[in-house]
Amino acid sequence: MKRILFSVLLATVTLTSCDYLNVEKHFDDTLKFDSIWTRKDYIERYMWGTASMFPDEGQILSGPWTPGPMATDEGICTFSTGEFKGIGFVLGEVSATDSRGLGVWTGMYQIIRKCNTILANMDKAKDLTNLEKLDIIGYTRFMRAYAYYKIVMDYGPVVLVDDKVMENNEPSDYYNTQRATYDESVDYICAEMEEAAKFMPQALAVNVFGRPSKGAAYALIARLRLQQASPMFNGGVQGAKLYFGSWTRSTDGVHYVSQTYDERKYAVAAAAAQRVMEMGAYQLNTVPREADTKILPQNTGDGNLTGSSFPNGAADIDPFRSYNDMFTGETVAFRNKEFIWARMSDAVRNTTKHSFNVDLMGGWNGLAVSQKMVDAYYMVDGRDISNSSKEFPYMENKMGKGGDIQFSGYTLRPNKVDSMYHNREMRFYANVGFSGRLWKANTTTEARYKNQIIEYFLGGNSGKTASSLSNQDYPLTGYVLTKYVHPDDAWKGTGGVVMDKSYAIIRYAEILLIYTEALNQLTQSHNITLGENTYTVGRDQGKIQAAFNQVRYRAGLPGLSAGEVASAAKVQELIERESMIEFLFENKRYYDVRRWATYEDSEREPVVGMNIEAPLNGYFQRVSVNSRIVRERVVDRKMIFLPVSQNEVRKVKDFDQNPGW
């Protein structure tokens, strides 16, 4: 007798039909499959059991669902490629015949089938009211669209099964189908999100934090529409034409990725972002200015920065706390209006352990941030490190003097820190752990495990040879990620506690940058209808500044100048840099460099860090990282997408594999 288990995924069952169109048979000790559709509460259990099949999105480093930051220029580590699958991917270990456990193709189609099963059977329940039916329809269609979304992001064009519940163990001809084009895939997903949003709540109760809302559906539409409009998927000469110019569907010769540029796609993305902005439900997270807030620079030329309250300036906020507290657990996630869709994440909490010193603080000390990311962060007045001001100069290889510099609960000890880490913007201090940084670990009561100055040079307490546990426990670049680390977090010592963390699947800062980027690409005005509303969008310089500057002001930096906003090329350059800084280790860059068609350029750059092979007097100099993980790194155009399992390709006559695989 067929039965259903609602709470967990079981091991994959080997079937003779197409695995990605099958769903495992789940069982419950008391409930028969046919009985599920007799009662509302059974259907809801089945629906939320389906939702539990999605991965923890915060598992961006060691999870099987995404290559993540370890497959980008954001960072590297020495740990096993079996655990950090993104490293295995860039080392060329993943293939169509061996995924090395990376990818979601099969799992997402299992979710799609379960969603179709719900939609096909829910009317059998006699105790469902019309309102309850609409609620189930909304969430189920969202889940189905979100499953397709995950497929299109990693694999490109999807196989659309519509509302069909594919049967198991049918002859191979039953499953023979072709992939949709990229545009067809995105259009279908967005249409489904639109329909789902009609029945989804705009606000959620605290006890269901983590569920998607209407805003989540609208925000994902905006993200996906910008992806669709970007050079890799919208006829770009260095993108779509170069990478996919010869990739056509074998059944009819249609290009899988459009070879013709369409500006209107950017207009649709801008309108989708504007819709989210006009909901009035979201805003950037800010913390009011306090006595220890760092004084804003007066030399930026942007009087609004110091003279106006947020969002028109930063005079009344604490930039460090406003950004930092979102990630460390200090800000209550449910109350954070920047989080359009977020969940509590054990994976993020556990990720922090990879940044802590081994012997002194109970961590693993190997999650390294690249020098490229470090150098991307601005000076405190918004200048580049190569063009610093006399008020806030950038210098290297010079230790500071004097007592502690304290701001926003953060402590910088000049006599322990090289001058290159002085006078930097607030997001730098929130995100990057450098040699000489103070790690507080406030919750432990054991003095020997708290308030440690961590040093990554050879002979330092966290250097290459410092760990007593493993010769892999050190950061290859001399930097570690601190984005999710709270000053109270302590992995070692009596009373030590690590705070719960949340992970933002999508946050409002991204919507503002989507809007900025999409508007910036327009050369004429467009009228775009979404649902019942029509949006008129064009390259309005004032609107570009208003959206982009919010992200800058929240960080305590000056906004776009009149000269900058006048140049579309300059604005795009600044957007790409802002995204790299703002969303460090939030699993955006992997997808950004692909859609911008800058993947090869970014991946071919040497991976650089401090000289961890040298003692203190030779440490603070840039060197290329000497590691197999860098030397054997593969850059290949086929790696825009993951390969679909060759087992699936062989079973479906008309199925076309991703190019290069």
Q: Are 273 and 296 in contact (CB under 8 A)?
A: no
Return the ∠ at Cα 327 (arms to 295 and 503), rounded to 5°.
Answer: 155
**What is the enclosing helix (H) or strand (E) of 537?**
strand 533-537
Place of tokens 């406003």: 322
How far the first Cα of the chain sits from its last, in Å, is 41
**590-603 tens-digit pLDDT:** 999 999 999 999 99
Q: What is the pLDDT of residue 170?
A: 67
Is 338's pLDDT higher than 60?
A: yes
Question: How far is it, in rounded angstroms, from Cα 185 to Cα 189?
Answer: 6
Residues sharing a CB contact under 8 Å with residue 501, sequence separation 6 or more, in sequence order: 58, 327, 328, 329, 344, 345, 348, 349, 352, 484
Question: How far is it, in rounded angstroms, from Cα 22 to Cα 114?
Answer: 9
**203-239 tens-digit pLDDT:** 999 999 999 999 999 999 999 999 999 999 999 999 9
Least confident span in 154-168, 315-329, 507-521, 606-620: 154-168
Question: How far is it, in rounded angstroms, from Cα 317 to Cα 596?
Answer: 33
Q: What is the pLDDT of residue 172?
A: 65
User: What is the pLDDT confidence band of residue 26, given thresholds at 50, 70 and 90?
Assistant: very low
Place of tokens 């919010």: 550
User: What is the pLDDT confidence band of residue 20, given thresholds at 50, 70 and 90?
Assistant: very low
**66-119 tens-digit pLDDT:** 999 999 999 999 887 778 999 999 999 999 999 999 999 999 999 999 999 999
User: What is the pLDDT confidence band of residue 7, given thresholds at 50, 70 and 90?
Assistant: very low
Is 28's pLDDT higher than 80?
A: no
Residues sharing a CB contact under 8 Å with residue 439, sequence separation 6 or more, in sequence order: 356, 357, 361, 433, 450, 451, 452, 453, 454
User: What is the pLDDT confidence band of residue 402, given thresholds at 50, 70 and 90?
Assistant: confident
Is 8's pLDDT higher than 80?
A: no
The CA dihedral of 330, 331, 332, 335, to the nearest 10 degrees, is: 170
Is 18's pLDDT higher than 80?
A: no
Q: What is the pLDDT of residue 451?
A: 98
User: What is the pLDDT confidence band of residue 25, given thresholds at 50, 70 and 90?
Assistant: very low
**258-312 tens-digit pLDDT:** 999 999 999 999 999 999 999 999 999 999 999 999 999 999 999 999 999 999 9
Is 400's pLDDT higher than 70?
A: yes
Q: What is the pLDDT of residue 21?
A: 39
**434-455 tens-digit pLDDT:** 999 999 999 999 999 999 999 9
**What is the enclosing helix (H) or strand (E) of 341?**
strand 339-344
Q: What is the pLDDT of residue 179?
A: 97
**105-148 tens-digit pLDDT:** 999 999 999 999 999 999 999 999 999 999 999 999 999 999 99
Residue 557: C-alpha distances to residues 318, 319, 561, 588 (Å)? 12, 9, 12, 22
Domains of the chain: 1-66+103-200 (1.25.40.890), 214-334+506-605 (1.25.40.900), 346-500 (no CATH)
DSSP category for residue 72: S
Q: What is the pLDDT of residue 163?
A: 85
Question: How far is it, in rounded angstroms, from Cα 446 to Cα 462?
Answer: 19
Q: What is the pLDDT of residue 651?
A: 86
High-pLDDT (> 90) share of the chain, %: 88
Residue with the bigger pLDDT between 425 and 397: it is 425
Q: What is the pLDDT of residue 188?
A: 99
Residue with the bigger pLDDT between 399 and 235: it is 235
Enter the tokens of residue 392: 């806030």
Instruction: Write out 575-615 in H/E/C secondary structure.
Output: HHHHHHHHCCCCCCHHHHHHHCCCHHHHHHCCCEEECCCCC
Helices 40-51 & 130-155, crossing angle to 10 degrees? 20
Q: Are 203 and 281 in contact (CB under 8 A)?
A: yes
Q: What is the pLDDT of residue 31?
A: 67
Question: How far is it, in rounded angstroms, from Cα 421 to Cα 412?
Answer: 9
The mean of the pLDDT values for the chain is 93
Residue with the bigger pLDDT between 7 and 428: it is 428
Residue 289: C-alpha distances to residues 76, 312, 319, 338, 508 (Å)? 35, 15, 8, 18, 21
Question: How far is it, in rounded angstroms, from Cα 507 to Cα 284?
Answer: 8
Residue 319: C-alpha distances to residues 440, 516, 580 (Å)? 20, 21, 18
Is 9's pLDDT higher than 70?
A: no
Q: Span 554-560, mean pLDDT?
A: 99
Q: What is the pLDDT of residue 34?
A: 87
Return the ∠ at Cα 447 (arms to 357 and 330), rounded to 5°.
Answer: 65
